[in-house]
Amino acid sequence: MKIAIIGTGNLGKSIAKGLITNNAITTLYLTKRNLEDIQDLEGYKNVLLTTDNIEAVKQSDILIFAIQPAHFENILRDIQPYLTDKHVIISTITGFLIPQIEALIGSDQYIIRAMPNTAIAVGKSMTCLCSNENGKKRLKIAEAIFNRLGHTLAIPEAQMQAATVVCASGVAFWMRLIRATTQAAIQLGFDAKEAQELAMYTSEGAANLLITNGHHPEEEIDRVTTPKGCTIEGLNEMEHKGLSSSLIQGMVASFNKINNIKKEQI
Ligand SMILES: NC(=O)C1=CN([C@@H]2O[C@H](COP(=O)(O)OP(=O)(O)OC[C@H]3O[C@@H](n4cnc5c(N)ncnc54)[C@H](O)[C@@H]3O)[C@@H](O)[C@H]2O)C=CC1
Ligand SMILES: O=C(O)[C@@H]1CCC=N1
């Protein structure tokens, strides 16, 4: 696949690393205004760095946009004359809706919105996808790309904001949970490196139990909680202190914020 990433910053670089590691490219154009920060990607086979978005568009079929929302409109206007029937437009940009993209480049384009997270760099992104009417014909291509870089779910566009909180911001929420369990493990006597190892692999194992077995989390909790044992003692103490409630309230606060970001910027 001839892919271009327009705007190779945090997310764009993570996608690039995932595509390179998974051999998912014929050519990969990476664009950025200043190429210094992505020089480390230059040595890879078939990876080309450029500041020229138009050149990258002309040479590629799949265009993944990973710039900040404020830059998207001008870049779309610049590249619009060079779009042809071969192109699939994939936008990762938060809060930029399909009708806004259609208004700039036309509803006859194949337009897909993708909401990945930074775990895409290690092939473990939970990526939500939606498309315009025409883009439905190319959704399978986007699924094929992002399934190589983790797991995908096609959703209606109306759920993209919620998906951003759960999956993209979700990486930060999980990092904080892993850090907190690491701190507890240090207090219980492990050195910092060991403590993080225990926290990371325990959380990976817990998630994999659900992924592999398809169980509800409480079913797995029931297997661990010995009556009058230490697990239920700790679990109930966490709930008395508001663990579930605080997570839910935090995610709802993120959702309220994401719905107001655009209004605040105006
Ligand atoms: N960071 C994350 O976890 C996620 C971010 N997003 C969305 O992805 C987008 C990018 O986010 P980040 O990577 O964090 O931002 P970033 O600021 O790190 O990256 C944007 C890049 O675009 C480049 N750029 C600016 N103007 C350009 C132009 N005219 N031509 C080519 N490149 C240009 C900048 O140099 C920068 O490297 C945002 O719209 C964000 O909402 C979506 C999902 C997750
Ligand atoms: O924090 C943010 O607003 C963006 C959207 C999801 C990840 N980063």
Q: Where are the beta strands (DSSP E) in the chain?
A: 2-6, 27-31, 47-50, 62-65, 88-91, 110-115, 125-131, 150-154
Separation CA 152–CA 144 (nearest Å): 9
Q: For residue range 27-60, what is the model confidence (pLDDT) as tens digits?
A: 999 999 999 999 999 989 999 999 999 999 999 9
Separation CA 121–CA 38 (nearest Å): 14
**Mean pLDDT across the stretch 167-185?**
97
**Closest listed ligand to the CA of 164:** 2
Give the confidence band of 63 by pLDDT, cuts at 50, 70, 90.
very high
Q: For residue range 123-164, what is the model confidence (pLDDT) as tens digits?
A: 999 999 999 999 999 999 999 999 999 999 999 999 999 999
**Closest listed ligand to the CA of 66:** 1
- Closest atom of ligand 1 to CA, residue 34: 35
User: Could you tell me the residue ranges of all domains in the chain?
Assistant: 2-155, 164-265
ipTM of model over 0.85: yes
Residue 263 has pLDDT above 60, yes or no: no
Substitution candidate for ligand 2 out of 91, 165, 167, 169 with most atoms within 8 A of CB: 169
Provide the 3-class DSSP secondary structure of residue 151: strand
Q: For residue range 92-127, what is the model confidence (pLDDT) as tens digits?
A: 998 899 999 999 999 999 999 999 998 998 999 999
Chain-centroid distance of CA 55 in Å reads: 26
Rg (CA), the chain: 21
CATH topology (fold) of 164-265: ProC C-terminal domain-like fold (1.10.3730)
Give the residues surrounding ligand 1 with Cβ less than 6 Å away.
Answer: 6-12, 31-33, 53, 66-69, 71, 75, 92-94, 115-118, 168
Domain made up of 2-155: CATH architecture: 3-Layer(aba) Sandwich (3.40)
Interval between CA 147 and ligand 1 midpoint (Å): 21
Exposure string for 104-118, b = 16+ CB within 10 A, e = fewer = ebeeebbbbbbbbbb
pTM as predicted? 0.92
Residue 213 has pLDDT above 50, yes or no: yes
**Mean pLDDT across the stretch 163-183?**
97
Separation CA 181–CA 190 (nearest Å): 12
Place of tokens 């020229």: 52
